[in-house]
Amino acid sequence: MKHWVAEKLICPDCLPEENPLKTQISREAKGDIIDGKLHCPACGRSYPVQDGIANLRPEKTSRVKSANNGYNAPVMLSAYMWSHFGDLLADARATDAYRIWSQSFVPASGDALDVGCAVGRLSFELSKTHDRVIGIDTSFAFIARARQIVREKNLDFELVVEGNLTERKHVAFDNGWHFENIDFIVADALALPFAGRDFSGVAAINVLEKVPDPLKHLEEVNRVLRPKDAMFLFSDPFSWDPAFSPPERWLGGSRNGGSPYSKRGIDTIRRMFAGEFGVFDPPFEIADQGDVSWKIRKTENLWEQITSQFLVGCRKSD
């Protein structure tokens, strides 16, 4: 974890109180905190930094599955590496999703936050338009690989072909990315470890449907985003699943006539951008919107095709 990231962190367990964390360093190298901990004087909780990765998940969600399960599984790492960088590997089957998402941002003063960054492609793109960028995800495997890319400035991974058969992929980057201004930490989208109004840009790609409390996720985005000269890129396929969140917390996809939300999720988000439900204050002006085709490649013969609906919201100066 880079020193400038440590200086921005607050205790996620103390929210809504925003208590800064104290950094205790055991080992560092080349501006990176390799081992140590982040301690909260207010509540007494400590968050570890191991092998350069800071784990800022709050206590109630700090338990994670085995490194070989879920989003930490090797097949999922392979799938997301291809999904994020397939176009740079000159794979004709790759989509241009990250070009479409990233072009929504214009050069802006201030830092950007990529919520649910996975292996970091959008974070790298945001380094071209913002002073510094922090990507967060709950997957240790994703964050470890994203930080490896920052260190090595190239892409080198095993692409799953079938079962345990893999194919080595490598590409050196020359994309104008500012690696020195990018870092990644493990954190929770429902308890962002940052002070309010700290970011001029926030992106949340395909996160809403994957968190247990979608409304809380959006409220956290509003909390850390500046009230002026700020932009929020939201994108989601709205494939609601009770395995991730209970139906009563969905922001769409319900036949319940008593629900205050629209039947379709994108319509609910559009209303929220305009100021309804008190989620985004101040509200956003919609600068762009549309659909993005995105793919996940799990094996050579197993693909997932996704349509993610996006909105770009802007808050301008008075």
**pTM (predicted TM-score):** 0.94
Find out whether 46 and 40 touch, Cβ atoms under 8 Å.
Answer: yes
Question: What pLDDT was estimated at residue 65?
Answer: 45
Signed CA dihedral, 185, 188, 189, 195: sign only: negative
The beta-carbon contacts of 13-22 under 8 Å, at least 24 apart in sequence, are 13/40, 13/43, 13/45, 13/58, 13/59, 13/191, 14/40, 14/42, 14/43, 15/58, 15/191, 17/42, 18/195, 18/196, 19/43, 20/195, 21/47, 21/193
Question: What pLDDT was estimated at residue 66?
Answer: 42
Spatial strand order of the sheet with 32-39 comes to: 22-29, 32-39, 46-50, 53-54
Q: Which residues of the chain have pLDDT under 50?
A: 65-66
Establish how many alpha carbons lie within 13 A of residue 297's alpha carbon, considering only the half-sphere containing its beta carbon: 22
Question: Rounded to an integer, what distance in angstroms lies between the CA atom of residue 316 and that of residue 318?
Answer: 7
Nearest CA among 210, 154, 216, 205 for reference residue 179: 154
According to CATH, the superfamily of the domain at 64-315 is: Vaccinia Virus protein VP39 (3.40.50.150)
Residue listed under structure tokens 């002006």: 285
DSSP class of residue 225 equals B
Establish how many alpha carbons lie within 13 A of residue 226's alpha carbon, considering only the half-sphere containing its beta carbon: 18
Domain with CATH 3.40.50.150 in the chain: 64-315
Q: What is the largest CA-CA distance in the chain?
A: 58
Burial of 63 (0-12, 13-18, 19+ CB in 10 A): exposed
Q: Are strands 230-236 and 165-172 parallel, antiparallel or unpaired?
A: unpaired
Question: Rounded to an integer, what distance in angstroms lies between the CA atom of residue 286 and that of residue 238?
Answer: 19
Instruction: Report phi then psi at 59, rounded to 5.
Output: -55, -40
Helical segments of the chain, H only: 3-6, 74-85, 97-102, 121-126, 140-152, 214-224, 265-273
Nearest CA among 116, 240, 132, 140 for reference residue 188: 116
Signed CA dihedral, 276, 318, 109, 107: sign only: positive
Signed CA dihedral, 266, 138, 108, 17: sign only: positive
Question: What pLDDT was estimated at residue 171?
Answer: 86
